[in-house]
Amino acid sequence: MIHYPASILNLVKQISKLPGIGEKTAERLSLHILRSSQKDAQELAQSILDVKDMVRLCSQCYGLSDADLCKICSDPARDASVVCVVEQPADMVAVEKSGAFRGRYHILSGALSPMNGIGPDDIRISELLRKIEGQQLKEVVLATGTNVEGEATASYIAQILESYAVQVTRIASGVPIGGDLKYVDQVTMKKAMEARHDVGSH
Ligand SMILES: [Zn+2]
C-alpha cells in the first residue's frame, strides 16, 4: 500500500470508511476508478454530492425525496384516504416492493423503546394525528415491525386512534415460516397464539 501515491492512498482511505468494505476491497475499487474513464469518475463523484445536496424529507410522509413532495405523495393515482404507518424509509420501500399497497405512507422515524429512552414525543405520532384530523382518512394500516418495539408502537397508536373515526388495521404477523419457536419473542408468540386457527378435519 505504501508504494501508492498519496492521492490513491487517500481514495483507498475514503472508500474503506464505507460499511462492509475492508482495505483490500477499497484498494481494488480505487484502482478500478483510476482505470475508468474521466466521465465515469466524474459521474460517481457527482452522484455522491447530489445525494447530500438534494435528498430531503417529503413534507407529507417524511420519506426520502428530491422534491418537497415525494413521488408517491405527488401521485394522484395513489389512494390518499389510506395511510400505511412504517418505522423507517427502508420499510416503506419494502412495502412498495410487495406491490400490495396503493395508498400513501407516514414514516415515524423510529419505534417506541422505553429501554432506549424513545417515547411518543421522539417519533412522529403527533404529525400522524394532525394528518388524520386534517385529511379525511378512511384507514390507517399499522405496518411497524413485528419485534417488541414495533408491536408496542402499533398498540400505542391503535389505542390513541380509538377516539378517532378511522379504521385501524395491523399487518398480519406471527411466527415466521421456518423460524424456531424458541427464538420468537413473547409478543410475537402471543399474537400467533391469539390468531391461531383450526387445522383439524372435524
Ligand atoms: Zn411523501
Model pLDDT for residues 159-174, shown as the tens digit of each residue = 999 999 889 988 866 6
- 59 alpha carbon to ligand 1 midpoint, in Å? 7
pLDDT, position 31: 96
Model pLDDT for residues 82-118, shown as the tens digit of each residue = 999 999 998 888 888 878 889 999 999 999 998 899 9
- 113 alpha carbon to ligand 1 midpoint, in Å? 25
Residue type, 73: C
Helix, strand, or coil (residue 125): helix
State if pTM tops 0.75. Answer: no
- 65 alpha carbon to ligand 1 midpoint, in Å? 7
- Exposure b/e, 14-40, CB count within 10 A at least 16 = b: ebbeeeeeeeeebbebbeeeeeeeeee
pLDDT, position 177: 57
* Strands, sheet with 139-142, edge to edge from the N-terminal-most edge strand: 103-107, 79-86, 139-142, 167-170
- 99 alpha carbon to ligand 1 midpoint, in Å? 17
- 84 alpha carbon to ligand 1 midpoint, in Å? 12
Kind of pairing between the strands at 56-57 and 64-65 = antiparallel
Q: Which string of DSSP letters, residue by residue, matches 45-57?
A: HHHHHHHHHH-EE
Alpha-carbon distance 47 to 171, whole Å? 36
User: Mind listing the pLDDT tens digit of every residue in the chain (202 residues)?
Assistant: 678 999 999 999 999 999 999 999 999 999 999 999 999 999 999 999 999 999 999 999 999 999 999 999 999 999 999 999 999 998 888 888 878 889 999 999 999 998 899 999 999 999 999 999 888 899 999 988 878 888 899 999 999 999 998 899 888 666 565 656 666 667 766 776 766 766 655 4
